[in-house]
Each structure stands twice: as structure tokens, then as C-alpha cells.
Amino acid sequence: MKVRFIFNPRSGRPKRNAPLLPMLRRFIAARALDADLACTEGPGHATELAREAVDRGCLRVVAVGGDGTVNEVAQALIHAPAAMGLVPCGSGNGLALHLGLPRRFEGALELAAGASGRTAALDTGVVNGLVFVNAMGLGLDADVAHRFNKLTKRGLPAYARTALAAFTTRKTERCIVTAGGRRETVDMLLIAVANSDQYGNDAKIAPLARVDDGALDLVVVSPVGWLSAAVLGARLFLGTTHLSSGVRRILGPSFTIERPAAGLIHTDGETHFTGARIEVSVQPRSLRMIVPADCRAVSSGNDKATAGFALQLP
């Protein structure tokens, strides 16, 4: 089986990840794998390397990086015969945590390139033509991502400080959300559309989300004060945001979000400037992913999963 490892040396904390490249080389050599190793050189390069791997007949492409690297590699593997392995070494690792992948580098490598796991078909999302695997968002969501991406030091403490700074200059937007033929006007602090249950670091914005149900979770967070924001922050890590009176959840295969003006959105943490009208849809079971054999985040027979529509009001 031909394998390509795609390593992003700039994922997460680059200095901490510096030893990973020689470890990857030793892993490939020690197991005499029919594999090659490619390092990304800038934005979009992981997608090019993954497409090249598919063209060369690789049956497995392993992303070694964070959620941004996952996104880029996945773009080339959607509806492709190759399966994706993931060795998380980013600052958030949202998809890896949702799937219960090993947190130790060596364990994740063994799963991604070995035979101990199983292949699951995961949903992906598209927003205004941009692919996302984990989550997309606008409002405070996008502002935090924009600020965070400018930092040289990453990690949960840095993310928390960035979120706090963004919250102090927060702006409320009135949007119209259309789902399942129903239109609703909402005042929002942020809107997230999640495929997995979390942003990363076990901060679960959509605790009920599944990556193989043929649907996406749209989460509207209403404007809140400091005290309510602190409570909501705690709920993120307790996995109970869906129980908050200031949170609305809409489950469905597609959404339209109309906001007052063009602005930023993020896809898996990477920001983009896009129009006032935002179209989001799911691509059911479009990405083949290597997961642990006992993974509960995806069903063993997920090729038969179906999607529904539900609206949860506070």
C-alpha cells in the first residue's frame, strides 16, 4: 500500500514540533513502508501534495499537522479512493479529539499508517465554495480566528486571551437564517456551523454533532454580558452549550445565512473574506478517514446514515 505523509512544520507550536520530522523519517524506515514524506511550504501546498499523491496511486494520505492541514489535505481527498490518516500536532486538533485519535505522536502514527484502525466515511461541509471538515463560523468566531492566526505563540492559553480580547470589542449582528424552508431572524454574537462537536482543545460548541449523520449543526450564540459569557465559556468545556438559554441549535443538511454586509468567515480556523450571503451545505460521507477500531464518534455501518431536520429553541 502506497502512503504519503504530508507534514506541516508550521502547525501548532513549530519549535515544539521540530523533532517530529526526524521521528517521521525513522518511523518510515523502521517499518520499511512503501511511503514518502513531503513537507508543506506555504498555504495551499498540502492540497497540491495530496492531489499528487492520489494521482500517483497512493491509497493512504496522512496529514501531520493541525486543523488547517487537515482541511487542505481533505480538499484533495473528498470523493477520492484514498483514505486519510491524521497525526495531530496543531494547537487545537478539533477533529482528532472528536474522533478519539491517540494523543501521543507515536500512537497516532501507528494508527494512521498501520492496520489497527478502520476506515470510516465522514461528512464534510462547503460554505460559499470553501470546504471545511471540522467547523466554520462568523461573527466573534471569525474575529477570534483572524486574531489567533496572527500570533507567533499558540496553544489554549493564547486562544483564551485572544477570545477575551475579541469579546471586549464584540459587535452584535442581525442575521436571517434559512433552514428546511424556514426563515428566522436572529441577533447573534456568533454563528458556528459544526461537523464535529468542537473547535478544538475539547471546547465543544456543538456537543450533539456527529461527523457521519449527513447533517450539520448550526449554533447561534445570542449577545451576552460578561457573566453569561463566563458561564458559556465553562459550558464549552463541560459539553453543555446546547443546554444554555442563549444558544440555538439547528440541525440540517443546508443553511443560508444573510448578514448585514460582507465580512470574515473562518473554515477550520482559516479566515476568508466573503459576501453578505452565506450558503452552507453538507457533503455526506465524502471523506474516507482512518479511525480507531473502537471509535464511537462514527458508526461501523455509517454508509447507511441518514439526515434529518430539527430545531432546538432555548
Q: Are 121 and 99 in contact (CB under 8 A)?
A: no
Domain end residue (candidates: 116, 140, 164): 116
**131, pLDDT greater than 70:** yes
pLDDT band at 128 (very low <50, low <70, confident <90, very high): very high
E-strand stretches of 128-226: 130-132, 135-139, 173-179, 182-188, 190-194, 216-221
Average pLDDT over residues 200-227: 95
Q: Both 91 and 152 in a single domain?
A: no
pLDDT attached to residue 302? 54
Q: Both 106 and 182 in a single domain?
A: no
Q: Which CATH number goes with the domain that contains 244?
A: 2.60.200.40
- 196 exposed, middle or buried (CB, 10 Å; 0-12, 13-18, 19+)? buried
Average pLDDT over residues 226-253: 94
Q: Both 269 and 171 in a single domain?
A: yes
25-29, 55-59, 202-206, 297-301 — which is least confidently predicted?
297-301
Per the structure, how many domains does the chain have? 2
pLDDT attached to residue 313? 31
Q: How does pLDDT run across 271-307, given as a tens digit for each residue?
A: 999 999 999 999 999 999 999 999 999 987 654 333 3
Please give the mean pLDDT across all residues of the chain. Answer: 91
User: How far is C-alpha 294 from the chain's CA centre?
Assistant: 21
Domain interval for residue 73: 3-116
Q: Which CATH number goes with the domain that contains 83?
A: 3.40.50.10330
**149, pLDDT greater than 80:** yes
Is 304 within a domain?
A: no
Above pLDDT 70, what percent of the chain?
95
Q: How does pLDDT run across 3-15, given as a tens digit for each residue?
A: 999 999 988 676 7
Q: Both 135 and 109 in a single domain?
A: no
How many Å apart are CA 265 and CA 148, to the nearest integer? 14
